[in-house]
Amino acid sequence: MKITFELNPPKILKDQRFDLVLLNQEIHKFTKRASELVDLVNGIHLTDSVLGIPRISSVTAANLIKRTGNPLNLSCSVRARDRNYTSICQFVSDAILIGVKGVLVLMGDDPLGGSTDLGLKPSSVLKMLNYENYNSVIDFYLTIPAKIKSPSSIQKKINAKPSAFVTQSIASLAELGDIVDVARSHNIQVVACIMVPSNNNQMSAETIGLDWKEYQNNAVDFIKEAGDLANEVLLTSPNSFRSGVELLERLRK
């Protein structure tokens, strides 16, 4: 079973002020966490300013991890909402040069300073990137809901031909199975995103409407079964790195 763990890069501002000393301290903590994952997972996925909060870019974070000698596969998110196509091409080129394995193109949350939606849609971006042959040297992924009503509801994303779909946080193996059936019929892999069911993550789960009762008391078995269905599991623990590590250690036993 392939497992990737999601990490948020350090926030840029502290109390609405830029402080290089504090930022370097956070970077040290961040790369240390990445090092802790070396014997626990196959890869690390780096987010792009989740909730619109400015953070070090995911591709910069990937470079910082690479420079420590970390051997794990790295993938990055890139937000389409507040980038034009030129900046996305720059981002993807940087990712390729650094040695990033794949890029998840997503819409992204509204930035804290207000929406600056430039009109790009992830599916359209991916079509352009594929047309220009970036996909010959790097994988591209698109997000899909944790539950799909019908293949037609994600047809535009299917037509964009990503390497894989990354689900929103799943709560049902049956619904994951439905996604896998649709994706594989189009030769698209599936990465099942699963949130670590801990008290610290409860608020995040409620915010996205995630009900984890199906796996709250048997997370290890749930993840293993999801790993059997999907090509890969993306484990996320947005408010507690330690809870994520503890669950990964249980998975190893």
Note the pLDDT tens digit of each residue in 17-55: 999 999 999 999 999 999 999 999 999 999 998 877 889
Q: Is 112 helix (H, G, I), strand (E, B) or coil?
A: coil
Q: What pLDDT band is residue 82 in, cutting at 50, 70 and 90?
A: confident
Which CATH number characterizes residue 172's domain?
3.20.20.220
C-alpha span between 27 and 85 (Å, rounded): 28
What's the pTM?
0.94
Residue 113 has pLDDT above 70, yes or no: no
Treating both helix axes as pointing N-terminal to C-terminal, what angle do 85-98 and 58-66 enclose, rounded to 10 degrees?
10
Q: What is the DSSP letter of 100?
A: -
The number of domains in the chain is: 1
Q: Which amino acid is at 223?
A: I
Beta carbons of 41 and 247 less than 8 angstroms apart: no
| Domain extent for 208 | 3-252
Residue 74 has pLDDT above 80, yes or no: yes
Query: Residue ranges of the alpha helices (H) in 46-172?
Result: 58-66, 85-98, 122-131, 155-159
**What is the CA angle 186-188-194, rounded to 5?**
135
